[in-house]
Structure 1
């Protein structure tokens, strides 16, 4: 085979590889999860979420993730949430992941919630032991930050594939917060829970539809 032919084959391989990489990058940047709207009627609505230790499905079987329940009671793999402006949002989060702890105890105190408290498995708390937290739910623009208590490491019947069932080991966290004017706000988890990534960040921690998302506040 001549040098020119070999060069052509190598060049074609490089071009194909570059095209494949570009395809994945464009797909990653342009794919947006579906919107899940709160249920109820303004000025009082409800959001129900769950966190799972591993999604259990392609494209990222072992990624930690949030899911949202839609108006039909179906769990949707999305973190794009829609709520009305100037309303109270009552949130219920079913926590199926085990505790990883908070690196900064600051995140152990609920902020921006009604009364500055959360309800964990029926108990009202104004602070959570940082060692017991698994994730957080935070909306920086609204000053909302909520620690989510994890499931005990030795709990029986732990969930391994999303969506998880309430018959499986979980904790229940409830709280309320107030929305303001219409806008598109970012929300996310501040616990570095991305196993396999440097310092626990990257992957699901920086990916829309996994551990961060948007809160669409509509008028």
Structure 2
């Protein structure tokens, strides 16, 4: 290959690489969904979330996702959650996805929750079989990490389009944790559940509004 051809090839590669970086920034890092406030008032509030196997709508119909219910009872496609400082936050998560399993059994224990427990379908647990987990809800800065039990693979009436309803197959996970001083905290799922992406990461796993978001402590 001649020197001009090599220079051209390098130039094309650089332009392509820059284009990919710009696409990543525009598509994943600059989009912030609307905030959803917890219900109730300081010092005790409640967040209600759901996880779905596929969002079912544009721009990424096949992406796994979280949704949050606002104080009016409407499901919102957002993972920006607003809670008061120095308060007890009780979280209810309706889990509509099937089990993916945990690569590290460490995530099978609820951590950072009040009492070190969670309630799964009416039963108080301090550990979940790693093979039964579908997702996790984790706030590293608060030391909170909770595994979410998946729906059985052969469960009838499974949800395919969000928002899902309680008449469809699901598990219910409830837990509480305490907030501290005001701040912007990152939260996310640590289960590599992004089907179609290398090792299950990428796509919804790295995108605010899907499987990670912010806890706005105010």
Would you say same fold, with TM above 0.5?
A: yes
- Structure 1 gaps of 5+ residues are 1-14
How far residue 28 of structure 1 moved from its aligned partner, in angstroms, is 3.9
Say if 2:28 and 2:208, in contact at 8 Å, map to a contact too: no
TM-score by length of 1: 0.89
When the two chains are superposed, the root-mean-square deviation of aligned CA atoms in Å is 1.7
1:86 counterpart = 2:72: no
Q: Distance in 1 between matches of 2:108 and 2:22?
A: 41
- Structure 2 gaps of 5+ residues are 1-14
Q: Distance in 2 between matches of 1:55 and 1:206?
A: 16
Residue 172 of structure 1 is matched in structure 2 by: 172
Superimposed CA distance per residue, residues 58-82 of structure 1 (whole angstroms, 9 cap, x where no aligned partner): 1001000000000110000000000
Q: Is the partner of 1:115 in helix, strand or coil? A: helix
Q: Distance in 1 between matches of 2:112 and 2:84?
A: 17
Residue 120 of structure 2 is matched in structure 1 by: 120
Q: Distance in 2 between matches of 1:206 and 1:22?
A: 16
Residue 139 of structure 1 is matched in structure 2 by: 139
**Alignment coverage as a number of residue pairs:** 202
TM-score by length of 2: 0.89
How far residue 21 of structure 1 moved from its aligned partner, in angstroms, is 8.6
Listed as ranges, the matches of 1:1-219 within 5 Å are: 22=22, 25-26=25-26, 28-218=28-218
Moved more, 30-39 or 117-126: 30-39
